[in-house]
Structure 1
Amino acid sequence: MSEIIANYDESWKEALNEYFESFLSFFFPEIYQLIDWTQPPQPLDKELQQITASSQTESRIADKLYQVWLLNQEQIWILIHVEIQSHYDVSFEKRMFIYHYRAFDLYGNKVLSLAILGDDRPNWRPDCYNYSIGKGEITLKFPTVKLIDYQSRWDELESMSNPFAMITMAHLKTKATTSQFSERSEYKWQLIRGLYERGLTKEQVVKLFKIIDTMMTLPKELQAELVAKIKRFEEERKMPLVSPTEQLAMERGELRGELRGKLEGKLEGKQELIIRLLNRRCGEIQLSLTERIRQLSIEQLEELGEALLDFSSMTDLERWLQK
């Protein structure tokens, strides 16, 4: 069986994009209560890209940066770092410090840094970076959540309506079933069926379905069996909703049709189309990757146009370009 890699990064990024308010109320309720939610939070993707690019660190899994207003009308930035590691990372605290001070240095805003740890080491709980020289001292403290702590609260998670209860369950079951795809398929089915049984709206079902489906990757055969099971379930329930599986198929069909209709143009037009579709599939791509795409030949652009339909993260694009 070919290697199947769980797609945590894309799932967490999508979840943070869709459910930032729910994220804070679920993991950091004390911080949630400080924010004036009548003023919509503003995502700062371009600023984050500059912050992480300026630091001398590798590209991380899932980082997000938001501008929010507190109840006292003070404006602050919230920097979220989701780390999916299965081993001790000696540089984690330093990396949190680098991102924090670069945000302050470049833009002069107060920053609150938060960390989500998705690894399976119960005793690794970094929450501070500190060094001192003589009487001088630097300290950064950042609230940290360890996802494996929720393993003992499974019944509680199942009863919660917050979308991050479902996302946390999907994460834990994905980690627990590495290379055990039959078990993962069964857990995935249980989680997806739970979406329907929670009485969610069509839009809520589709959004959460896509996040869970992206994270809990399966071999093609098991994925096909799962899709068939979901369709039978929908037919038995005579559900009035548009099936998430059908919606995903429609989106894929629209992308393929758009490619077929527009990849006939000039080189510059093909480049812009490919870049636009990659932004839709993988998030805003870095300038360095954009420049590499502009150097591709027409034949290579057409190959990339077909390949990107299977991309789910920036990593997929980087791997394709390396080949």
Structure 2
Amino acid sequence: MALVQEMHIRETPNTYIHHDQLFKQLIQTFFEEFLEAFFPEVHKSIDFSALKPLSEEMFTDLLEGESRRADIIIETKLKKQETIIIIHVEPQSYGQPNFHERMYHYFSLLYNRYRKPVLPIAIFSYDQKRNEQNQFTVSFPFFHVLIFQFLMLELKKMNWRSYIQTSNPVAAALLSKMGYTEKERVQVKKEFLRMLVKMELNPAKAELINGFFETYLSLNKHEEEKLMEEIKQLDQHESDQIFKLPNSWREKGLKEGLQEGLKEGKMQEKRQVALEMLKEGLNIELIAKITKLDQKEIEELKRNL
């Protein structure tokens, strides 16, 4: 069975390349996990030991006269067959009225090229929910010539909470493109970090997942501060692991930890000075004035002498 991941991003050239490479790298690296999370029936039917990337194909879009590149084409075995799967990633915020026809066009070109069965899959990553067609037909009142269908994943319609208990790296990364409200942004990021810790990926893969997520869900300063506070409320071991992740949270956590450590060190120094003053017989009011410690704390130190 052959898997084809095809990523077409209709935006400005620089934006196209950026998003194209992000989705391509994510799905190529975690192809099995991608199908497991979103297309479990397909996943059950594929022999992943037989994966073989094929060369990228450049197609001419007959609808608009533009060139399109099939970025990911992977061949593998499916029930003693060799099938090509097209995964079409469309990370843009506006729709394409003829998208279903375009999918049929790519399907036809790939079939003509390889002469093997093709399973097409489209991934929609719009910023707003849309109702997409997954069927293209050619018919007459007296006869149906063609009914073409493709599998599709509409990320904005996915409930992000349905995936946070999994250990799937693609699901974790794509939380950033799922259906959450503005008020849930901090919660989504926190659950993403918890998933990342639980998966225990190597640094390179963790960096890929985190970089993808940050591209599509980047918190503002106020949200970051709120997130930091929520992370501190987690179990100590879990929060420590989050701050060890290869991202900005590690740097921020270390910086704040250092600042808190210095602050605590100064407090310990003040307490030691207060103890020495108590031993010298100075009164509590004077010690409080010099050290800036609370009088009740100094009284507690005196009782423990």
| TM bucket, shorter chain | 0.5 to 0.7
The answer for the alignment partner of 1:146 in structure 2 is 154
- C-alpha distance in 2 between matches for 1:243 and 1:192: 14
CA-to-partner distance for each residue in 1:79-102, whole Å, 9 max, x for gaps?
Answer: 001223444421111110110001
- C-alpha distance in 2 between matches for 1:98 and 1:137: 16
CA-to-partner distance for each residue in 1:1-44, whole Å, 9 max, x for gaps?
Answer: xxxx89654432221111111111111111111111221x2223
The two structures have a TM-score, normalised by structure 1, of 0.56
Matches within 5 A, 1:193-204: 193-203=193-203, 204=205
- Determine helix, strand or coil for the equivalent of 2:158: helix
Q: Give the AA of the match of 1:102.
A: L
The answer for the alignment partner of 1:108 in structure 2 is 115
Matches within 5 A, 1:34-73: 34-39=45-50, 41-47=51-57, 50-51=58-59, 53=60, 55-57=62-64, 58=66, 64-72=72-80
Is 1:165 the equivalent of 2:140?
Answer: no
Question: Where is the strand percentage greater, Structure 1 or Structure 2?
Answer: 2
**Where does the alignment leave 5 or more consecutive residues of structure 1 unmatched?**
248-323
Q: Give the AA of the match of 2:169.
A: P
Superposition deviation, residue 169 in structure 1: 1.2
**Where does the alignment leave 5 or more consecutive residues of structure 2 unmatched?**
1-14, 251-305
Is 1:17 the equivalent of 2:28?
Answer: yes
Alignment CA distance shift 1:56-1:239 (3 Å): closer
Contact 2:243 2:249 in 1 (8 A): no
- C-alpha distance in 2 between matches for 1:243 and 1:129: 45
Superposition deviation, residue 217 in structure 1: 5.0
Bigger Rg, structure 1 or 2: 2
Q: Give the AA of the match of 2:168.
A: N
- Determine helix, strand or coil for the equivalent of 1:197: helix
Alignment CA distance shift 1:60-1:118 (3 Å): farther
Question: Where is the helix percentage greater, Structure 1 or Structure 2?
Answer: 1
Alignment CA distance shift 1:199-1:44 (3 Å): closer
Structure with more relative contact order (C-alpha pairs < 8 Å, separation 6 or more): 1
The two structures have a TM-score, normalised by structure 2, of 0.59
- Determine helix, strand or coil for the equivalent of 2:100: helix
Superposition deviation, residue 165 in structure 1: 2.0
| Count of residues in Structure 1 that have an aligned counterpart in Structure 2 | 228
Contact 2:54 2:75 in 1 (8 A): yes
What is the alpha-carbon root mean square deviation over aligned residues? 4.1
